[in-house]
Chain A
Amino acid sequence: MIAVSLLGSPILASAGATFIQTLTKSIALGCVYALVALGFVLVFKASQVLNFATGGIAMAGAIFMSILIADRGFPFLPFTNPLAPAVGETASVPLWMLHVAIAMMFAALLAVVLERVAIRPLVGQPLFALAVVTLGLEVAITPFNRDATAVSSRSLGVPWKTNSWEVAGAIIPKSYLAAAVAAAIGFAAILLFYRSRLGVAMRAVAFDQEAAMAQGINVGRVFSISWALGASVAALGAIMFGMAPFPPGGAVSQEVHTILAFRVLPVIILGGLDSVMGALYGGLIIASFEVFAGEYLSGYSNILGPGYSTIVPYVVMLIVLLVKPYGLFGTAEIRRV
């Protein structure tokens, strides 16, 4: 809501300011998309599962965070959160980040459990069967995210609220910087992790499961870790997306879920299902198409329909796939008889 009023407001005098604002917004949104897409990619690289439940798991993490910090309690349990800020106060930045970490751990735990229970028994089955299992998980998680926690839009207790900077007439919310920093940390951490011993094991598993097993790598453990990592970066993305100026209005709501679960699909397709940096580029490209189309084509919105910018990612995806069937950065599959 804030984003809408900012972009449409008469405060913006110059075209340059509009451009700067659109650009920063698309970078910030791209960072969020990239984080969630990274959640998909990490899981797909290690276990060859297209995890449709990423959105649901990430959303569960964000809602967990909201319950911890805004309701000062625990989901379904009659305890209060001892770490929560006092009633009527917002958390300080370090405390808030601690809660983010807890929420990421919760999402990781949920993902590990789901992987162990629902995905592990199916190792070796066709990719499609695995994808559909995660689709089933997604459908099963959704009511808990949507209905059991009751509130249609939940505050995340963001310490900097809706504060923003003004640069050359353009208004840049602090959340944009937070999203960019989160993405930078997330991607740096994952890239560093890939250099560690466990990360090398993960890449080996991604390359050839059987050969990795023969080298003494515990493939099951690699699966668990990749699911945990994927879920936690996706949850980080979900939390960043729940912050103030992002499209649905700055709170964890059902719309956040739709976006996380399905609008990130064009991002991973564009970047390629198995490319970490592809997730980042894909996120930035898709988000800039979406945001720039939303800003500069708004004069045609009575022809394009209300909310047309939300399908821009799918249209871009369709066009890219028809030209490059494995995305911009994905590994082409060699077809043999």
Chain B
Amino acid sequence: MAVGRPLLRTSYDEDASIFPSTFQKSMVGFALFWMLLACLGVSPFDAPFTALLGATWLNPMTKTLAFAIVALGLNILVGMTGQVSLGHAFFMGTGAYAAVVLGGDGDTAKACVPFHEQLGILDRTQDCGLGLPIWIWLPMAGVVASLIGILVAPAAVKVRGLYLAIVTVGLVFIGLHLGRMLPEYAGDFESGRRWPKLEFRFWKEETPLVDFTSNGKWFGFLEVTEEQKQFLLIFVILLFFIVLAKNLARSRTGRALQAIRDRDVAAEVMGVPEFQYKRTAFAISSFYAGIGGALFASYTGRVSPIDFGLLLSVDFIAILLIGGAGTIAGTLMGTAFVELLPDLVERFTGWLSGKTVSNGPIGWFANILLTDGTAGNFGPISTSATAPGWPMSTFQWNFVIFGLLIVIFLIFEPLGLYGIWLKFKSYWKGWPFSY
């Protein structure tokens, strides 16, 4: 690296390195270190998380980590290859159901034959599950989703732009119907079924080798709770996928995908086979979605087909747009923002509802915004969840906020949170000059 000019790159290796500067490397290291200590509950480190999300912050965070894996996958498809997909909920669901069929417990002999009712074998109320260990069902969740992605890929070559977006919307609805059609795999359409737990076994033995679903000691001295264990597991898996995505972006495949995004005809003229690479993009992206879906479902414990509806797909598109499509840091920021916002809003209104009796601007603000439903008490946000109708609950307002955020970000900051970060960075870098 050239001395005195830190951004001057003198070799291709430097240009392709994951961290362009030592500072960035140390910042990422610092963030990882902070996350680790915060997760283990070391006192000053977890303070910001407990302040924002409450004492049980590991819960929403773990879910966010699983979602981040899916979002990274969608980023490969949308941000890197430029293929718009509103069907990621479908791929996520595919992974999750592959996981539950392979790893869940159930009646293997009778229920796992599709349409056994018609074949006269048995009733469909039994759940199908082979009870295999995690080292089979987790990778297979990705592989199955990936195979489905490969099946869908030819449509992406034929159909372009908005038409592709609508086709993938169709996929989500077809997936929902499959969930309703095959109760032996999906469980009850409303209440769903139980997912295999995050436990390592060699085969089907009684006591798991490592289990992530009970409190205990690690390495003989480290007291870890169930939540911390699951957080760390999914965190490590996420890190693996981040590195994978980073490496993909700077490989031959990644460059080909970006060429297709920028202009598919031009890419093909230059000898980048469009169909092959679109298929690759779909395969990788749905692999991520499958793994993320399986982890999410397994962590949640009980999921129903309705959870993989169109709103989930919109969630991921919003994550990419709010975070900044095409960048990994942006995707991670977007996931955290979109997935944690409902909890933040919930907590904020909870805090505000305690202030309605107080005087001063906060009290007034709380009184204008909140209502408990008694006569003469007006406000758009209802604090009592009992009455349906106009003063809507925070749960319902969250949808409004979410929708408006998509609109606001696209209008004012099309590059998303990553764009804000870039502006911030260039401001400090250029100071005292404006650029």
Contacts and interface: CB of A to CB of B under 8 A. Distances in A.
A143 B167 contact: no
A158 B414 CA distance: 45
Contact of B407 (A125, A128, A140): A140
A335 interface: yes
B403 A137 contact: yes
B405 A143 contact: no
A337 B265 contact: yes
B159 interface: yes
B411 A148 contact: no
B interface secondary structure, majority: helix
Contacts of B311: 139
A50 interface: yes
B392 A147 contact: yes
A100 interface: no
A265 interface: yes
A302 B117 contact: yes
Given A146-B396, A305-B181, 19 more contacts: A50-B162, A50-B165, A128-B161, A132-B318, A135-B314, A136-B410, A138-B403, A139-B314, A139-B400, A140-B399, A142-B399, A147-B396, A262-B173, A266-B170, A305-B177, A305-B182, A306-B180, A322-B159, A337-B266
A interface secondary structure, majority: helix
A83 B173 CA distance: 41
B162 A148 contact: no
Interface residues of B, number: 54
A147 B174 contact: no
A150 B392 CA distance: 10
B414 A125 contact: yes
A118 interface: yes
Contacts of A148: 389-390, 392, 396
A326 interface: yes
Interface in B26-69: none
Contacts of A79: none
B160 interface: yes
Contact of B411 (A121, A315, A317): A121
B173 A311 contact: yes
Interface in A235-273: 262, 265-266, 268-269, 273
Interface in B79-134: 84, 115, 117-118
Contact of B402 (A139, A306, A336): A139
A125 B412 CA distance: 12
Nearest to B177: A311
B165 A136 contact: no
A136 B158 contact: no
Contacts of A318: 155, 167, 170
B410 A129 contact: yes
B170 A127 contact: no
B310 interface: yes
B329 interface: no
A314 interface: yes
A136 B403 contact: yes
A129 B310 CA distance: 18
Interface string B402-435: 1111110011001000000000000000000000
B169 interface: yes
Contacts of A121: 411
Contacts of B182: 305
A310 interface: yes
A321 interface: yes
Contacts of B169: 262, 265
Nearest to B189: A306
B262 to A, nearest CB: 11
A139 B403 contact: yes
Interface residues of A, number: 55
B407 A137 contact: yes
Contact of A118 (B163, B392, B399, B407): B407
A186 to B, nearest CB: 23
B158 A321 contact: yes
A76 interface: yes
Given A136-B410, A150-B389, A326-B163, A314 B173 contact: yes
B317 A135 contact: yes
A133 B170 contact: no
B79 to A, nearest CB: 12
A131 B86 CA distance: 11
Contacts of A321: 155, 158-159, 163, 167
A140 B163 contact: no
Contacts of B180: 305-307
Nearest to A265: B166
A127 B165 CA distance: 11
6 contacts: A122-B410, A122-B411, A139-B402, A147-B389, A273-B163, A314-B174
Contacts of A268: 166
A311 B179 CA distance: 12
A128 B389 contact: no
Given A147-B388, A314-B174, A318-B155, A132 B406 contact: yes
A317 B314 CA distance: 21
B403 A141 contact: yes
Contacts of A294: none
Contacts of A129: 321, 410, 414
- Considering the complex of A and B, which 4 residue pairs feature the smallest CB-CB distances, nearest first? A305-B181, A140-B403, A136-B406, A150-B389
B31 to A, nearest CB: 29
A322 B171 CA distance: 14
Contacts of B84: 128
Contacts of B400: 139-140, 143-144
